[in-house]
Amino acid sequence: MISGLKDIINEFDTFILDQWGVLHNGGDAFPNAVATLELLKQHDKKVVILSNSGNTHNFSYQRLTDSGIRRDLYIDVLTSGDHMRHNFQQGKFADLGTNALVFGWDDGVLSSVLEDCGLTSVDIDDASLILCYGVGRAAVEDYQAELKVAYDRGLEMVVSNPDLVAMSPDGGLKLCPGSVANAYAAMGGKVHWHGKPQAEVYAMCHTLLGGWDNAIAVGDSLEHDIRGANTAGIASLFLTTGIHADELTAKMANKDDMISESVVADLSREFEVMPSHYIDWFQVD
């Protein structure tokens, strides 16, 4: 357990930050986030934001600015959406065809996603693949009928955001594309994953930063942030106030106590990962 980044700042030259759950939850930046980023800048640390977002880094720039986080406080953003677009543009999915059954957010960016990936949106009967970059329906069950047809036809799914859920500004959890992709994989469908915890996205991050000596990944998801750091062979800092907050609290004998190391270890073992450090919020001290 550390109280703040000041406890470990001299151990690392590079800080790879998750966005949702670390810096904000879709609204204003968390109270200590800007001050902590400023501390890292003062110590000349490399800071990159690695986000499981189906959108591009340009979208993240605007969201971060809107939240109150200045552009000069980080070197760049790399998203799972960037990772997916890179793979389409490099021809990785050329054998899947270009007619996509699309699952997406109702956010007006579908045309740019299709253009970036060289795809056309079609109905299930004409589809040669599934593109899952968002979830516009209330529950995974709402996708089951189309997933069944897609599975019967042997379609493969490309998912741009592997997160299962994400925190909302009100503190609740909202469904994310990874939950739909998991359901398809459970049926036996083939899924192509992007973003954390895939080793390839950390390699892209390494290239983007021009390398590092000692890096630490900061995030609130054991499944994505901590597993990804473990896979990449770098240190990790787990935030206990994020998407696992309720699970951690449920393991506490006294709900009013601070989260203990043994409780973090117990939950981590369930995910077969282990963070090297943990903290409640992204803060200086």
Are 5-82+197-279 and 93-192 the same fold in CATH? yes
Q: Specify the pLDDT at position 97.
A: 98
Q: Which two tokens stand for residue 205?
A: 């991050």
- Topology (CATH) of 5-82+197-279: Rossmann fold (3.40.50)
- Topology (CATH) of 93-192: Rossmann fold (3.40.50)
Secondary structure, 3-state, the chain: CCCCHHHCHHHCCEEEECCECCCECCCCCCCCHHHHHHHHHHCCCEEEEEECCCCCHHHHHHHHHHHCCCHHHCCEEEEHHHHHHHHHHCCCCHHHCCEEEEECCCCCCHHHHHHHHCCEECCHHHCCEEEECCCCCCCHHHHHHHHHHHHHCCCCEEECCCCCEEECCCCCEEECHHHHHHHHHHHCCCEECCCCCCHHHHHHHHHHCCCCCCEEEEECCHHHHHHHHHHHCCEEEEECCCCCHHHHHHCCCCCCCCCCHHHHHHHHHHHCCCCCEEECCCCCC
Q: Specify the pLDDT at position 189.
A: 98
d(CA 113, CA 80): 13
* Spans in the chain with pLDDT lower than 70: none
Q: Specify the pLDDT at position 257.
A: 80
Q: Specify the pLDDT at position 208.
A: 97
Domain boundaries, the chain: 5-82+197-279, 93-192
Sheet containing strand 191-192, edge to edge, reads: 120-121, 99-103, 129-132, 157-159, 191-192
Q: Specify the pLDDT at position 262.
A: 94
